[in-house]
Amino acid sequence: MPFIIAIDGPAASGKGTIARAIAGHFGFHHLDTGLLYRATGAKGGDPVLAARSLSVEDLARPDLRSAEAGQAASRVAAIPAVRDALVEYQRRFAAQEPGAVLDGRDIGTVICPDAAVKLYVTASDRARAIRRAAELGTDADAVLEQLRDRDRRDSERATAPLKPAPDAVLLDTTGLSIHEAIERAKSIVAGVR
Ligand code: C5P
């Protein structure tokens, strides 16, 4: 049985960096599931058809990391048929030996409810805005509004809203360096393995 690690949390909480590091450390595959929604939003046209026809090229577009792509992603992510179109790909990815780390919003709750480890990574709004602003080279106040907007949409949607699975371990990275956050996550995983 492959070992599945589900990592969920709001935007810029550090979940992506943690997921990559954990996958590298344990020799597991890693999928940033936000990219699927970003590519769907960026593709334009009918979002359901876009989700059904995602290609490797769509996922490699250089503009997917922008704030605009993040907002477009969270709008298409609220459409149940878009989410349905992406479930199968994510579950197949998760089933790879020897294991996989998937990060997103609904991995522990919907995509992989039987994951061996579930982490819910959070940080204060301010800490998340400062990190994201540093990545994008912009102002933290402007980023803060966008993050709140996106988190509100992600948490309040009817289908697969952002929320911790009941059996998720909470990891608050507010006062932690990225190195410390990764070490905590590693020890949580090692405790289960
Ligand atoms: O993680 P990232 O910021 O790249 O995700 C972009 C958007 O995609 C999120 O704001 C959310 O609306 C959506 N998403 C989702 N479910 C996931 C991953 C991302 O709804 N598993």
pLDDT digits (tens, 9 = 90+) for 78-122: 999 999 999 999 999 999 999 999 999 999 999 999 999 999 999
Q: What is the pLDDT of residue 92?
A: 98
Q: Which ligand 1 atom is the nearest neighbour of the CA of 102?
A: 21
ipTM: 0.99
- The percent of residues in the chain predicted with pLDDT above 90, rounded, is 95
Q: How many residues does the chain have?
A: 193
- Ligand 1 center to residue 58 CA distance, Å? 16
- Ligand 1 center to residue 187 CA distance, Å? 26
Q: Mean pLDDT across the stretch 68-81?
A: 96
Q: What is the pLDDT of residue 136?
A: 87
Whole-angstrom distance, CA of residue 158 vs CA of residue 142: 27
Whole-angstrom distance, CA of residue 119 vs CA of residue 165: 9
**pTM assigned to the model:** 0.96
Which domain CATH number covers 86? 3.40.50.300
- Ligand 1 center to residue 37 CA distance, Å? 6
Residue 175's Cβ-count burial label (10 Å; 0-12, 13-18, 19+) is exposed
Residue having the nearest C-alpha atom to atom 16 of ligand 1: 105
Whole-angstrom distance, CA of residue 94 vs CA of residue 31: 8
Q: Which domain holds residue 14?
A: 3-192
Domain count, the chain: 1
Q: What is the pLDDT of residue 67?
A: 87
